[in-house]
Every structure is written in C-alpha cells, then in structure tokens.
Structure 1
Amino acid sequence: MAFQCQRDCYMQEFVTTVVSCCPSELKLENNGKKEKVKGFNVILKDTILFPEGGGQPDDRGTIAGVPVLRVTRQGAEAVHFVSSPLEVGLEVQLKVDWDRRFDHMQQHSGQHLITAMADSMFSYKTTSWELGRQRSTIELDTGTAKPGEIEALERAVNEKIREHVPVTVKVLTLDDPAMEQVRSRGLPEDAVGPIRVIDIEGVDANMCCGTHVSNLSHLQVIKILGIEKGKKNKINLIFLAGNRVLKYAEKSYTIERALTALLKTGADDHVEAVDKVQKSVKALQKSNLSLLRDMAVLIAQNYKNNPNRGNLFCLHRKEGDNEFMNIIANEIGTEETVLFLTVGEEKGAGLFLLVGPEEIVEKMGPRVAELLEGKGAGKKGRFQGKASRMERRGEVEALLQEHSRCPHLEE
C-alpha cells in the first residue's frame, strides 16, 4: 500500500485513526551516546509521516500533539514510535516537520537527477547513496572521473532544474510493459502490491518509495562539492540540493568574514595567510621543544648540584610532555631518588611519571594513578600514564613523602 505521504508529498497535516498501540523500546542517540527509551509503537489507518526507506531517513512530526521519535516500515505498515500511549480507535491529527521533509524531498529528487544524468552522460552507474544530515553522497561505479566531467554534470543537472521538468508518481504492476524502461537495483524482499515509480519527464524513471518534489524547479539549485575516492574502483560524489546550498553559502560567508577579521586579509588571501601562520606555529613549536629540553637538563642538574637534596623530587609544569619528564629522569639517573613528575593543567587532565627503585615504583605506581583518577603502566622502575585530577598532586606528594620517611610502612 502507498501511504498518504507517498500519494501527496506536500501534505503537511492529516486526520486519521489509531489502529493499534503497543509498549515498546527504542535506542536513541543522545549527545553521541545511545540510550534505550521506553514508549509505544503506534500503527495508524494511514500516515503522512514517511517511514525510512530507499536511502531516505524517516520523518518527524506529531500525532495528536505527541512527538513522533521514529517511523519505520514493517511490511505494509508504518510504525510510529511515541513516548505516550494513544487510544485505539481515536481520531487524531498528524503534523509533519515540514522543514525536515522538504529537505529530504530536495536531496532525494536531486539524487535521482544526478544519478540519471551521470549515467546518460558518462555511463557512470549509481551503486548506492546516502542522504546525510549536512550533505549527501552518491557512490558511482568508476575509479575516477575525467577532468571537466563533474563540472559538466553540475551544469547539466542545473539546466534541467531551470527547464521546470515535471516529476510524477506512477503506480505500475510488475507485468506492465512500461516496467522495461524503469531503472531499479531490485525490490526489497518484503515489498508488496504495485510498484511505485518516480518519473522525471524525459530524464529518468526509477522505482522508489521515497518522497519527492513535483517539479525539478523546486530543487532550486544543485551544487556538487566534489568527489572522493571510495571503495575499490568507485568514487563518492558529494552534493547539496536546494535550501542546503543556501545554508552552505551563508555558513561559508560567515566563516569568510571571521577569517578576514582574524587574518587581516581579504578572502582571496586566506589560504596564503593560513599557510604562513602554520609555518610560524611549527617554527615556534620546534623552538619551544628545544627550550623545554634545555630546561629539563638544567632542572636535573640543579637538583643534582643541591647538597641538601632529599630522596624525593617532585615537579609540575603546565608546559611539557613525556619527553620533558623522561629527560629529567634520565639526567638525574639515581636509583636512590624517587621522582614524581607531572605536566598539564593545574586542575584537570595531564601526564605523570613516577621513577625510582623498582620495588617502590611497582608498589606506589598504581596508588598514584588511583589518586590522580588516571591510568598508567610501567616496568623496571618507571610508571607513567594519564591523569584526570591533577589537583590531587599534593595528596600523591604527601603519600610519597610518608613512604620515603617510613619505607617499610604498609599503607
């Protein structure tokens, strides 16, 4: 069956009836982490909320004011996941998140157009595609594109947009002779009923379950950002369609203005200015590393020349790295001294190094890592690692001081 969203892709509100409502769970991503959410799977008599399929993500919207968090297709049914139950038999109003829907329509129709033109112009077949959140990707079965082909493809698709080419939906049976002219990569195993075909007049006819614009002019414009190397003997073509091109232009201009203010140069000179900054930073980093190495040697020598030095040496510097700490340890190089060295922020994350007699380091190393709420490992009198609580260095120093006064004390 075709849903109302497939019969009229532009319908934004719709009244229907709740057929079933069952408790369910759904994994949702929240700040990069997936978590299980309890809710209800709702099946409606019909829907304007598109269930994911054909490379197109699902719609968002509301049912009787209740937000729809996911829409999936199970056979001939669309299953809507909501957080609150809905009464079976209840007449409800659906509203679709139109901005999301129209964006998907533009990207999906744009993909059909690019795919068809890439095939007719260069015999490059589309093997898969992805409608991403910010940009979309078409995988083409060619290892490379010749110079000028991508530019020519972009000009051709935008010419079709300017020609106001109609896009219509046809419903055909498998034995219909018109099916011989339809492009397809095969039907899903659970497909039932007549075949839905998206026909771009004079350009392409393709089996598809997704939502599409009714005229190529509604795409506004297509921008092909470029191509990247894909799987073996394939390339990925990256593109934007419609409103995404406008948003991309606005974002690019905002970045351009910010760079102009920072670099004190016009937009045409940004690359050269950044290149100079990077070279300058590399030179400074090299000089800084050299100074840190020299400083590490001086710190070690100063300690060794101190007649009142004890058998515990603790040092923290905000600037530094593992090499800095290891130079100090190697320069001091005494088996009687316990060294506790740290680099990083005064409070927060950093690196640590514990050096000394093997039996002491083996025993105290894990304790140090635990106090600093970090992780580490070591052998042969050295234990080093990462810490997340540098503000607890004082507790570590007190522990090591106590141990140095009472080496046989069981902590």
Structure 2
Amino acid sequence: MAFQCQRDCYMKEFVTTVVSCCPAELKHEVNGKKETLKGFNVKLQDTILFPEGGGQPDDHGLIADVPVIRVTRQGPEAIHFVASPLAVGQEVQVKVNWERRFDHMQQHSGQHLLTALADTMFGFKTTSWDLGRQRSVIELDTPCMKPAQLQGLEEAVNEKIRAHVPVTVQLLSIDDPAVRSRGLPEDHAGPIRIIDIEGIDANMCCGTHVSNLSHLQVIKLLGIEKGKKNKTNLIFLAGNRVLKYAEKSYSTERAMVSILKTGPDEHVEAVDKLQKSVKLLQKTNLSLLRDMAVLIAKNFENNPQKGNFFSLHKKEGDNEFMNIIANEINTEETLVFLTVGEDKGPGLFLLAGPSRSVAEMGPWVLKMLKGKGAGKNGRFQGKANSLAQRAEVEVFLQQAPWSIEI
C-alpha cells in the first residue's frame, strides 16, 4: 500500500486508529553506544510517519503525544516502535517532526535531480547514495570527475531549481510495462511509486519528495572523494542544509578573524605563518630539552652524595628526553626512575638500571602506574594511564630488597 506520508508528503498531522500494539525490543544506538530498548511495536490504520527505505531514514514524530523512536516497514505495513503502550482501537493524532521530514525530502529530491543530470550530461550512472546527518553522498560509476564537470553540474541543477520544475508521483501496477521490477524488495506489496521530475527524470522510489524543484531552494556540491572499486563519491547539500552550512562557515570565519586579527582573505597565509612558527618553536624546545637532559644527568653524576637511586618527574618531555638522561648516568650502579606527563594524569615512564633489578621491578612499576610497556637489557619503559601513584613507586623502588644488591 502507499502510506499517507507517500500520498501527501507535506501533511504534518493526521488522525488514524491503532490496529495493534505488541511488546517488542529495539537495538538502538545512543551517543555511539548500542543499547537494547524495551517498548512496543504499534501498527496504525495508516501513517504519515515514513518507514525507512530507498536510502531515506525514517521519520520521527508523535502518536498521541508518545514519541516514536523508530519506524520500519514490514511488507505492506509500517511498524512504529514506541516506549509506552497504546490502546488497540484508540483514535490517535499522529504528528511528524517536520524539520527532519522536510530535510529528508530536500536531500532525496536533490539526489534524484543530481543523479539524472550527472547521467544526462556526462554519462555518470549512480550506483548508490547515502542520506547522512550532515551531508549526503552519491556514488557515481566513474573513476574521476573534473572540476569543470563539477561546476557545470552544480550550475545545471540550480538552473532547474530556478525554473520551478514540477515533481509528481505516479502509482502504477507492478505488471505495468513502464515498471522495472528489478530492485524491488522481496516483500513489496501494493502499487509502484514513480517520482517524475517533469522532463528530467522518472524513477521508482518509495521516499518522500518535494512537489516542485523550487522547494529545494539551492544545491551546493561540496566536492568529490575517491570511492570504492574505481568509483567517485559526490558530496552535496540541499535546501536548508546549505543555509546552515553558510551560517556555520560565517561563524567560524568571524571567530578566525578575532583570533588571527586578519581579514578572511588572509586567513590561509596567517595560519601558514603560525604553523611555521610553531614548528620552529617545537624544534627549539626539543633542542633545549635535550640539553637539559644532559645537564640533569651530569649534575647527578657529579654529586658526591648521589647514592644509587635517581628519580625525576617533568611535565614536559618525551621518551627521548628520558633516554638521554638514562644514557648519561651509569645505570650499572644506579637505578633510574623517570616520568613525564601530568602530575596525576597519563604519561610516560622509564626504569633503567642493573638488568636483574629492572627485570624484577619493571612489572611491579607497570602495575602501580596502570600502564602498558615492556623491557629488556636493563630498560623498562611504557605508557602510564595514571601517574598519581608516582610517589608510592619511588618508595617501592627504594625499599625493595633487590635494590640493595645494586
């Protein structure tokens, strides 16, 4: 069957009846984590909430003020997953999240238009597409797309938008000669929908679409990326997404002006200069750290009361810094424990000294610092998840029975 959302894509509210409501579970991703939600699968006599399909995500909305978490299609029926039960036979008002719906309509109709003109103008066939949350992508069966082709395609689609070309829906029987049944899902039921962009394209599609290309407002091609199997991914925005993209870009531009103290046209040059300055400073800093490491080690070696244990923690530094210190100290006679990083946060550590002592104490140090590492030939080093117990490690190394044998 064709749902009400497919018969009238612009309907925002609809009154219908609950046909069934059964307990169900839904595997759902929340903030990047997969969860299993318990709720109810609801079937309605008809619906204005589109079930996912044809590359288009499902609608969000309400049934009698109960939020609809997911809408899927099973044969001729739409299944609405909700958290609270609804009474069978109850007359309910269904509301669609219009901002989400209209966005999907704009992206989907934009894809149809781009697909048709990419084929007409350059012979590039569309092999798949993805309606993403931030941007949409069309996979074109071509290894490359030249900048002039990209520009020409963008100009052509926006010209069609300005021409107010009508978009209509035809419902055809599955045995109609005009229907290409290839590609239909196995459980398809009811008439075949044909989305007809007047004089441009006519294609089977179950999704929701604008009624006129002017409702797309504008299409912006962001560029291309290398796709799979010698194909090209065309990235685009349509309608309100272009406006949001422009607003976000302008906000970023204003922030950059404030930070860089230059106009937008000079941003690239200013950032380039900053990067070169940072690289020079990093190089200078590394050189100073190396010199400092040598001085730290020599100061210890020249101390007549140095003992046989040396420990140092420094916020700035790296593995090279620690190894330079260890190299400058006679670790055959001295146990060296070095750390770099935040005082109670993650960091790096190095234990150096007589091979037997380091081999025995290294795993204990690793455990106390909650880290990962390994050792050989009198060196044990790695990453510490927490340096909070650094003081305890020092005490352990100084009091350990085998440290006396150094």
With normalisation by structure 2, the TM-score equals 0.95
Seen in structure 2, the aligned counterparts of structure 1 residues 328 and 406 have a Cα distance that, compared at 3 Å, is: closer
How far the C-alpha of 1:404 sits from its partner, in A, is 5.7
- 1:329 and 1:138 mapped to 2: Cα distance? 56
- 1:192 and 1:358 mapped to 2: Cα distance? 75
Residue 371 (str. 1) matches residue 374 (str. 2): no
Aligned to 2:113: 113
How far the C-alpha of 1:335 sits from its partner, in A, is 2.2
Seen in structure 2, the aligned counterparts of structure 1 residues 346 and 50 have a Cα distance that, compared at 3 Å, is: same
Equivalences for 1:224-243 in 2 at 5 Å?
224-243=221-240
How far the C-alpha of 1:147 sits from its partner, in A, is 3.8
How far the C-alpha of 1:295 sits from its partner, in A, is 1.2
How far the C-alpha of 1:299 sits from its partner, in A, is 1.3
Q: Tell me the amino acid that sits aligned with residue 167 of structure 1.
A: V
Equivalences for 1:10-89 in 2 at 5 Å?
10-89=10-89
- 1:377 and 1:35 mapped to 2: Cα distance? 37
Residue 270 (str. 1) matches residue 267 (str. 2): yes
Identify which range, 10-19 or 98-107, moves more after superposition: 10-19
For these two proteins, the number of residue pairs brought into alignment is 405
- 1:96 and 1:40 mapped to 2: Cα distance? 19
Aligned to 1:324: 321
Seen in structure 2, the aligned counterparts of structure 1 residues 38 and 198 have a Cα distance that, compared at 3 Å, is: same
- 1:185 and 1:154 mapped to 2: Cα distance? 30
Equivalences for 1:87-102 in 2 at 5 Å?
87-102=87-102
How far the C-alpha of 1:19 sits from its partner, in A, is 2.1
- 1:63 and 1:210 mapped to 2: Cα distance? 21
Counterpart among 241, 249, 254 of residue 252 in structure 1: 249
Equivalences for 1:112-191 in 2 at 5 Å?
112-179=112-179, 186-191=183-188
Equivalences for 1:195-214 in 2 at 5 Å?
195-214=192-211
CA deviation string 1:44-87 (max 9, x = no partner) = 22211111111111111111211111111122221222122222
2:388 partner SS: helix
How far the C-alpha of 1:405 sits from its partner, in A, is 7.9
How far the C-alpha of 1:130 sits from its partner, in A, is 0.5
Q: Is the CA contact (8 Å cut-off) linking 1:311 and 1:404 kept in structure 2? A: no
Q: Is the CA contact (8 Å cut-off) linking 1:348 and 1:389 kept in structure 2? A: yes
Seen in structure 2, the aligned counterparts of structure 1 residues 40 and 379 have a Cα distance that, compared at 3 Å, is: farther
Q: Is the CA contact (8 Å cut-off) linking 2:126 and 2:141 kept in structure 1? A: yes
Q: Tell me the amino acid that sits aligned with residue 108 of structure 1.
A: H
Equivalences for 1:212-223 in 2 at 5 Å?
212-223=209-220
How far the C-alpha of 1:193 sits from its partner, in A, is 2.3
- 1:287 and 1:355 mapped to 2: Cα distance? 27
Q: Is the CA contact (8 Å cut-off) linking 2:9 and 2:208 kept in structure 1? A: yes
- Runs of 5+ consecutive residues of structure 2 not aligned to the other structure: none
Q: Tell me the amino acid that sits aligned with residue 360 of structure 1.
A: S
Seen in structure 2, the aligned counterparts of structure 1 residues 364 and 41 have a Cα distance that, compared at 3 Å, is: farther
CA deviation string 1:160-201 (max 9, x = no partner) = 101111111111123323337xxx872122222221111111
Q: Is the CA contact (8 Å cut-off) linking 1:312 and 1:404 kept in structure 2? A: no
- Runs of 5+ consecutive residues of structure 1 not aligned to the other structure: none
Q: Is the CA contact (8 Å cut-off) linking 1:219 and 1:242 kept in structure 2? A: yes
With normalisation by structure 1, the TM-score equals 0.94
Identify which range, 344-353 or 218-227, moves more after superposition: 344-353
- 1:247 and 1:132 mapped to 2: Cα distance? 15
Residue 300 (str. 1) matches residue 292 (str. 2): no
Seen in structure 2, the aligned counterparts of structure 1 residues 30 and 311 have a Cα distance that, compared at 3 Å, is: farther
How far the C-alpha of 1:373 sits from its partner, in A, is 2.5
Q: Tell me the amino acid that sits aligned with residue 334 of structure 2.
A: T
Aligned to 2:8: 8
Identity of matched residues, %: 75
- 1:380 and 1:34 mapped to 2: Cα distance? 45
1:394 partner SS: helix
Aligned to 1:279: 276
1:17 partner SS: strand
- 1:405 and 1:145 mapped to 2: Cα distance? 69
